[in-house]
Structure 1
Amino acid sequence: MRVFQNSGVYPSYRPHFDRLASGSKSFRERRQAFLNDRFAASHFLEPVLEGSEKAFFTNADDEVLQRFWARENGLASNTSLEAILLAQIEHHKTDVFYNLDPVRFPSAFLRKLPSCVRTSLCWRAAPSGSVDLTGYGAVVGNFPSILEFWRSKGCRAELFFPAVDPVMQEYVQQERTIDVLFVGGYSRHHSGRAKALEQVAGLARAYDVVFHLDASRLTRLAESPIGRLLPGLERHRRPRAVASIARPPVFGRRLYELLGASKIVFNGAIDMAGTDRGNMRCFEAMGCGALLVSDAGNYPEGMVPGVTIETYASFELAGPTVARALENWTQSMEIAARGRAELGQIYTKGRQWHDFERLVAQL
């Protein structure tokens, strides 16, 4: 199977990655810099991470990366990014196209694929309004309710899971100096998580609580000295308890470092997948050996409250649940260790690739 995996560069990650890859002089060097940093590596297929010649990977929205490939393969300087992607697929003689960025490349794009491609799949773990993904052989994801949404839109939808990145082993530390870590976005639109985060932030008086938040430009402006003087920006400011401990977002190996140095990683689902749980942070936190504390819901195999993770039933209980886990850290440490061992057995890169091959064979 010759598989082509396309992804995208998260906007907040791009400045960090551009600095990381600033010395790259070729497509191969810049792509390797990205893969080495492990951003979203839980989603990347085993042959991609192993450098198999049968697998091709790119970030089609990374213009620097794609222009490197275009120049190296004789394409005109004004070739569009979409045309470059199509040329890469044809050059690779791809027979399976696996797209992690389907909103940018919906069904209309698939009609342009070269004849060598026999099937296509896309990962989509969110509802996406009017985006048409019916042209894909299957929409895959790990939230059953979201898959039902895509089925209601006329798509074939199949369960598929992230995997524990083997590199996480390098970041499992015995001494964990951060009591509580949260990394992600803060938005009042996701009211449940916002309220839970405010509860946990209140623990900073007694514990080392670290929040790395991806703030919008409006939030940064609203919280600036000038923004505090401007009318109408109050609703964009984060609660004082949250803003006082907020730090810039982190990604890739820096995220792994923080996860490995944390006793507890706090997670909260956003208002999107109903009661389904199991976003990528769950896999990353447990894979790096931290205790996952998250909201109650329907978790995938291996994530069992009181056995491999801890959960809270409502946002009012988020703070007390975290505090109790820290007060009983010997027991909590055992739960975290079981969680890491369980996930390491179930969600391997080998199993993920096997499941992918089996899914493709059914299409």
Structure 2
Amino acid sequence: MRLFQNSGLYPSYLVRLNMLAPKTLGFEERRRIFLEDRFGALHFLQPVLNGDADAFFTNGDDHILQRQWAREYGIRAEAPLEDILLAQIEHHRSEVFYNLDPVRYPSAFVRKLPGCVRKAVCWRAVPSGQADLTAYDAVFGNFPSILDFWRRKGCRTAVFFPAIDPVMVEYGHGERPIDVLFVGGYSRHHSIRAKVLEQVAKLADTWQVIYCLDASRLTLLAESPLGRLLPMQKHRRPAAIAKIAKPPVFARQLYDLIGRSKIVLNGAIDIAGPDRGNMRCFESMGCGALLVSDAGNYPDGMRAGETMETYDSADDALEIISECLRSWPRSAEIAARGRSQISEIYSKSLQWSQFVGRVAQA
């Protein structure tokens, strides 16, 4: 199978990537640095991470990366990113196109794929308004309720899971001086999560609590000197949160931080419904921290009281985390059991085998 996997970048991660990989580097070197940093690696298929010749990977929204490839292959520098991506697929003679950024490249793009592509599949784990993904042979995801949403939109769907990044084994084997860690977004879409964060922030008086927040532009504006003159109070983070907030972290920096944390606090975004199992769950357990997350329907291997802990409300989260810290030896055993089971159930080899099967059925 000649595989082409396309992904995309968070704007806040792009700052880090540009520091690691200056613009002066070529396509291969910038892509190598990106893959070694492991941003998004839970979604990257085994042949991509292994560097197999039959697998091609790119970030189709990375202007620097894509224009580097275009220059190296004689394509005009001002060509649209969509045209560059299509040229890469044709040059690689890809048989399977697996897209992690389908809203940017929806059905209209799929209909332009070169004839060598036999199957086009994508990953989408959130509802996406009016996005049309019906031209894909299948939409993959790990949330049943969201797969139902895509089926109602006329898409074929298949259950598919992230996999533990093999390099996670390098992290989390020493001291864990951080008692509670939260890493994630903070915006109007996170109202329930915000209440939990505010309650748990109270522990900062006696425990080491760190929040690495990727705040929305509206929140950043509200907290700026200009924003404080405007009626934007509802968009500002509570004082207890702002006091311990640090900038967002990604990739290997995230792995390292989780590996130095006893507990990772997680909370689904408001549109997630009853399903649980976002990336932070896999990252936290994969790096050996105790996952404390909101109650809901979790995938295999994530069981409250056995491999993780769950809470029902903001007050409940505060009490559960407090108890986990007070009885840390028991909590550490749960975390270790979680790491072992998740690493076994969601390995890269099993993910690849399942991918091949899902594509064959699509």
User: Taking structure 1 as the reference length, what is the TM-score of the superposition?
Assistant: 0.98
The one-letter code matched in structure 2 to 1:208 is Q
Residue 172 of structure 1 deviates from its aligned partner by: 1.9
Give secondary structure in 2 for the equivalent of 1:126.
coil
Q: Is the 8 A contact 1:180 1:210 kept in 2?
A: yes
Residue of structure 2 equivalent to 1:64: 64
Q: Identify the residue that residue 309 of structure 2 maps to in structure 1.
A: 310
1:249 shift after superposition = 0.5
Residue ranges of structure 2 left out of the alignment (5+ in a row): none
Aligned twin of 2:210: 210
Aligned pairs for 1:291-306 within 5 A: 291-306=290-305
Please provide the CA RMSD for this pair: 1.0
State the one-letter code of the partner of 1:243: A
Q: Deviations over 1:274-325 (max 9, x none)?
A: 1100000000000000000001110000000000000011222111111110
Runs of 4+ in 1 over 6 A off after TM superposition: none
Q: Distance in 1 between matches of 2:226 and 2:79?
A: 43
* Cα distance per residue 1:75-111 (max 9 Å; x no partner): 1222211111000000000000000000000001111
Alignment of 1:187-226 (within 5 A): 187-226=187-226
Whether the 8 Å CA contact 2:187–2:219 is kept in 1: the answer is no
Q: For residues 190 and 23 of structure 1, do their structure 2 counterparts lie closer, same or farther at Cα, with a shift above 3 Å needed?
A: closer
SS of the aligned residue for 2:89 comes to helix
Aligned partner letter, 1:264: I
SS at match of 2:272: coil
3-state SS of the aligned residue for 2:151? helix
1:188/1:194 contact within 8 Å kept? no
1:231 matches 2:239: no
Question: How far does the alpha carbon of each residue in 1:7-51 deviate from its partner, in whole angstroms, 9 at most, with x for none?
Answer: 011111111111111165210000011101000100000000000
TM-score between both structures, scaled by the size of structure 2 = 0.98
Query: Per-residue displacement from partner, 1:192-222 (whole Å, max 9, x unpaired)?
Result: 1111111111110110000000012332232
Whole-Å Cα distance in 2 between the matches of residues 30 and 231 of structure 1? 42
In structure 2, the partner of 1:147 is: 147
The 3-state SS of whatever aligns with 2:128 is coil
2:257 maps to 1:274: no
Alignment-derived partner of residue 239 in structure 2: 240
User: Counterparts of 1:152 and 1:225 in 2: how far apart (Å)?
Assistant: 46
Task: Find the counterpart in structure 1 of residue 326 from structure 2.
Answer: 327
After TM superposition, list the pairs within 5 Å mapping 1:99-114 onto structure 2.
99-114=99-114
1:349 equivalenced with 2:348 (yes/no): yes
CA deviations on 1:222-269 (whole Å, 9 max, x unpaired) are 2234432x1212111011111110000000110011000000000001
Contact 1:203 1:209 in 2 (8 A): yes
Give secondary structure in 2 for the equivalent of 1:254.
helix
Deviations 1:50-69 (A, max 9, x none): 00011000001101100111
Residue of structure 1 equivalent to 2:44: 44
**1:173 Cα offset (Å):** 2.2
Which residue of structure 2 aligns with residue 16 of structure 1?
16
Contact 1:4 1:97 in 2 (8 A): yes
Structure 2 CA distance for aligned equivalents of residues 356 and 194 of structure 1: 35
Give the equivalent residue in structure 2 for 1:119.
Answer: 119
C-alpha distance in 2, partners of 1:177/1:27?
A: 39
> 1:74: which partner in 2?
74
1:24–1:30 contact (8 Å) kept in structure 2: no
Is 1:54–2:54 an aligned residue pair?
A: yes
Counting only pairs closer than 5 Å after superposition, residues 20-39 of structure 1 correspond to structure 2 as: 20-22=20-22, 25-39=25-39
Quote the residue 2:2 is aligned against: 2
Name the CA distance, whole Å, in 2 between partners of 1:79 and 1:227.
39
Q: Measure the CA separation in 2 of the matches of 1:38 and 1:75.
A: 29
SS at structure 1 position matched to 2:11: coil
CA distance in 2, matches of 1:96, 1:342: 31
Distance 2:154 2:43 in 1: 24
Percent of matched pairs sharing the same residue: 65
2-structure distance, mates of 1:87, 1:226: 46
Cα distance in 1 for partners of 2:157, 2:145 equals 11
Whole-angstrom CA distance in 2 between matches of 1:298 and 1:222: 35
- Give the structure 2 partner of residue 167 of structure 1: 167
1:338 correspondence with 2:337: yes
Contact residue 184 and residue 249 of structure 1 kept, 8 A: yes
- Give 5+ residue unaligned stretches, structure 1: none
Structure 1 Cα separation of the partners of residues 324 and 188 of structure 2: 27
Distance 1:23 1:64, change over 3 A: closer
